[in-house]
Structure 1
Amino acid sequence: MSRRTMWISMLTASGVFVVVVGAIILVPRLLYPPLSAADLHGVGSAQARIELQQAQSRLTNDARSAMLQSCVGLLVVIGAAATWRQVHVSRESQITERFTRAVDQIGSRDINVRIGGIYALERIAKNSHADRDPIQFLLGAFVRGKLTWLVGTADGPEHPTTSVDERLPVMNVRAPDVQAAMWVLERRPRTPDDPKLYLSRVDLRGISLRGARLSRTLFRHSNLARAALAGAQLDRCDFTDADLRRSLLDGASLKGTNLSRAHLHGASLRRADVRGADLRGADLSGTVLEEALLTGAQADGATVWPTGLSAEVRRELGIIDDSRSP
């Protein structure tokens, strides 16, 4: 604060103080002025005149006391508002400092520091609604940047790979920072207006997300081979051309999910809810579909079904099979 601003503030405060003091002194006297001789004319008893003057004085004092109490109450309210404002500003400053420190941490070369920064961002998201979307975007970018699966580029990976790499360590061992980021993303507070989580073209092989809440997430062209997704909420996700071979999806909810051209060979979908899903062009050969709900799922002539799932059985299950589609 500049010296000029300080002087202006001091003069303003002094002026307000003088006005308030003057009002406390003058207003009660204007409301209840002292009784004059003319006012007391006709009052024969001297004792009665004294009592009337005392009563008028009490009215003046009572009015002055009421004004003082009002001023004190107003000062308390102003003080409380100023304190709340200071606390709010201090809290925002602390959150900004914590956010900056966490961003620095997830860029560290030390994996333990990165994991600490990821969990620090989760704490910030829980405490600050305004920072939830930026943190979601930041962690999504972190996952995409760490394990990119650049399908379709000149030097990109084969997709799907010739076989599932059984020797590849699970995510918690291979990239524990990415696993931590995914756990934080699936636990994030959700609202109907949340932006979609973008995790397309990401190498998520061996990820463990049992019971995760990832509805409306984009996994287009990603590799989720051997992913543990049992009981996960994956409604209305987009798994277009995603590699889900050997993935565990038992009891998962995939209502309205786009699985077109997805690779599900050897995946397990026992008791999974796949109602209304798009299975056009999906490879379901060797997929376990015991007790899976498939009512309204869409298929076409390019859909590859497990052995024994005949056209008649598919009709009984409520699958909409348009074999005339290309």
Structure 2
Amino acid sequence: MTRTFLLFAVAAVLGLALLFGTVLVLPLLLYPSLADAELTGVANAETRIQLRQAQGQLQNNARSTLLQVFAGLVVVVGGAATWRQVRVNRDGQFADRFTRGVEQLGSDNVDVRVGGIYALERIAHNSPEDRRTIQVVISSYVRNRSPWQAGLADGPEHPTPVVDENRPWLRIHSPDIQAAMIILARRPRSRDAPRLYLSRVDLRGLQLERNQLTDVHMRYANLARAWLPFTRLDDSDLKCTDLRRANLESAGLVGVSLCGAHLQGANLRGADLRDADLRGADMRAQHLAEAILTGARADETTVWPEDFGPDRRREHGISSAE
């Protein structure tokens, strides 16, 4: 601390010395005082005095201009220093708020966890440079708090034998997970936004409407009875995902991978499945004929409703590897 102060003091003294030296010396170099030899041709004494005064006035004007310039520089430097300090303080506040928000995610109180989730969303809104990290933290929170370990030796049967119609909606059963998914679904879209990894998560009864979960990696997830009308899921990977009884009315599923997915009883009225990969999927959904299926790909393992034969599939523009 003492050494820093001494260095600052020395720098300040040198700066002041340079300032005063410049103000005193530079005007004399620009407008040198008139010597007697230079005024030998001026016979009138009063005129010689006026010329010396005029030269002195030029020097004073130069000093005044230099002082104004230095004063402007001081204001600029001071403003820059103030802005930097404000930025440092702001970053420090964001760091503290981020730390508190993450700590809240570990609380045993679900209300505190929900508060922490929304606090992180506020930070992401005000601090774009932290947005990517916060999205990763929240998606990791969903995976850890609501796992669906399908495919593991001790994991659940996937899909479950039946869809539990009596299970509460996610906002009631797990309000923190519902809040996290709402935040992820309304995150600002950008080219460098990270892809969300939500594979093997339990999102039964999730409720989202007119939101965006585009380009999401959600393999082997459980979205049975999810309420997702008008939600954009374009370019997402939903391989082997359980979408039974899900409401996907007018949902965006363009370019989605539904390989091996389960859509029995799902509402696909008006859903846009252009260029979707339906190989191995169970497409025994409701209102399938009212979905947009142009360019969708299927194979011999795709399961169709009884009234959705080859001719009808061709009418809908579905290509087949059969």
TM-score, structure 2 as length reference: 0.98
Q: Verify the 8 A CA contact 1:206 1:224 in the aligned structure 2.
A: yes
In structure 1, C-alpha distance between the alignment counterparts of 2:293 and 2:234, rounded to whole Å:
14
Deviations along 1:132-185, one digit per CA (max 9) or x if unpaired, are 111111111111111111011111101011110011111010000000000011
Counterpart of 1:15 in structure 2 is: 14
Letter of the structure 2 residue corresponding to residue 236 of structure 1: D
Tell me the CA shift for residue 307 of structure 1: 2.5
3-state SS of 2:116 partner: helix
Counterpart of 2:263 in structure 1 is: 264
In structure 2, C-alpha distance between the alignment counterparts of 1:171 and 1:73, rounded to whole Å:
60
Deviations along 1:233-276, one digit per CA (max 9) or x if unpaired, are 10011110110000000000100000011000000111111000
Tell me the CA shift for residue 286 of structure 1: 4.0
Counterpart of 2:98 in structure 1 is: 99
**Where do residues 220-259 of structure 1 align in structure 2 (5 Å cutoff)?**
220-259=219-258
In structure 2, C-alpha distance between the alignment counterparts of 1:306 and 1:122, rounded to whole Å:
42
In structure 1, C-alpha distance between the alignment counterparts of 2:222 and 2:286, rounded to whole Å:
17
Q: Verify the 8 A CA contact 1:213 1:233 in the aligned structure 2.
A: yes
- Check if 1:178 corresponds to 2:177: yes
Deviations along 1:105-139, one digit per CA (max 9) or x if unpaired, are 11111111110000000000011122111111111
**Where do residues 188-203 of structure 1 align in structure 2 (5 Å cutoff)?**
188-203=187-202
Tell me the CA shift for residue 49 of structure 1: 1.0
- Check if 1:294 corresponds to 2:269: no
3-state SS of 2:320 partner: strand
TM-aligned CA distance change 1:286 to 1:48, over 3 Å: closer
In structure 2, C-alpha distance between the alignment counterparts of 1:118 and 1:60, rounded to whole Å:
65
Counterpart of 1:25 in structure 2 is: 24
After TM superposition, what 4+ stretches of structure 1 lie above 2 angstroms from structure 2?
A: none
Tell me the CA shift for residue 290 of structure 1: 3.8
TM-aligned CA distance change 1:313 to 1:224, over 3 Å: same
Letter of the structure 2 residue corresponding to residue 190 of structure 1: R
3-state SS of 1:136 partner: helix
In structure 2, C-alpha distance between the alignment counterparts of 1:120 and 1:212, rounded to whole Å:
20
**Where do residues 110-259 of structure 1 align in structure 2 (5 Å cutoff)?**
110-259=109-258
In structure 2, C-alpha distance between the alignment counterparts of 1:107 and 1:271, rounded to whole Å:
41
In structure 2, C-alpha distance between the alignment counterparts of 1:8 and 1:219, rounded to whole Å:
58
TM-score, structure 1 as length reference: 0.97
In structure 1, C-alpha distance between the alignment counterparts of 2:269 and 2:288, rounded to whole Å:
5
3-state SS of 2:216 partner: coil
In structure 2, C-alpha distance between the alignment counterparts of 1:104 and 1:22, rounded to whole Å:
57
Counterpart of 1:303 in structure 2 is: 302
In structure 2, C-alpha distance between the alignment counterparts of 1:24 and 1:218, rounded to whole Å:
67
In structure 2, C-alpha distance between the alignment counterparts of 1:134 and 1:63, rounded to whole Å:
54
Counterpart of 1:319 in structure 2 is: 318
Counterpart of 1:37 in structure 2 is: 36
Q: Verify the 8 A CA contact 2:261 2:280 in the aligned structure 1.
A: yes
In structure 2, C-alpha distance between the alignment counterparts of 1:186 and 1:178, rounded to whole Å:
12
Q: Verify the 8 A CA contact 1:207 1:224 in the aligned structure 2.
A: yes
In structure 2, C-alpha distance between the alignment counterparts of 1:286 and 1:25, rounded to whole Å:
89
Q: Verify the 8 A CA contact 2:268 2:285 in the aligned structure 1.
A: no
Tell me the CA shift for residue 218 of structure 1: 1.0
Counterpart of 1:277 in structure 2 is: 276
3-state SS of 2:37 partner: coil
Q: Verify the 8 A CA contact 2:224 2:242 in the aligned structure 1.
A: yes
Q: Verify the 8 A CA contact 1:239 1:259 in the aligned structure 2.
A: yes
In structure 1, C-alpha distance between the alignment counterparts of 2:161 and 2:205, rounded to whole Å:
17
Tell me the CA shift for residue 281 of structure 1: 0.6
Q: Verify the 8 A CA contact 1:286 1:307 in the aligned structure 2.
A: no
Q: Verify the 8 A CA contact 1:204 1:227 in the aligned structure 2.
A: yes
Q: Verify the 8 A CA contact 2:220 2:238 in the aligned structure 1.
A: yes
Q: Which runs of 5+ in 2 are unaligned?
A: none
In structure 1, C-alpha distance between the alignment counterparts of 2:91 and 2:192, rounded to whole Å:
24
Q: Verify the 8 A CA contact 2:269 2:286 in the aligned structure 1.
A: no
Letter of the structure 1 residue corresponding to residue 159 of structure 2: P
In structure 1, C-alpha distance between the alignment counterparts of 2:219 and 2:296, rounded to whole Å:
19
In structure 1, C-alpha distance between the alignment counterparts of 2:93 and 2:47, rounded to whole Å:
68
Letter of the structure 2 residue corresponding to residue 59 of structure 1: L
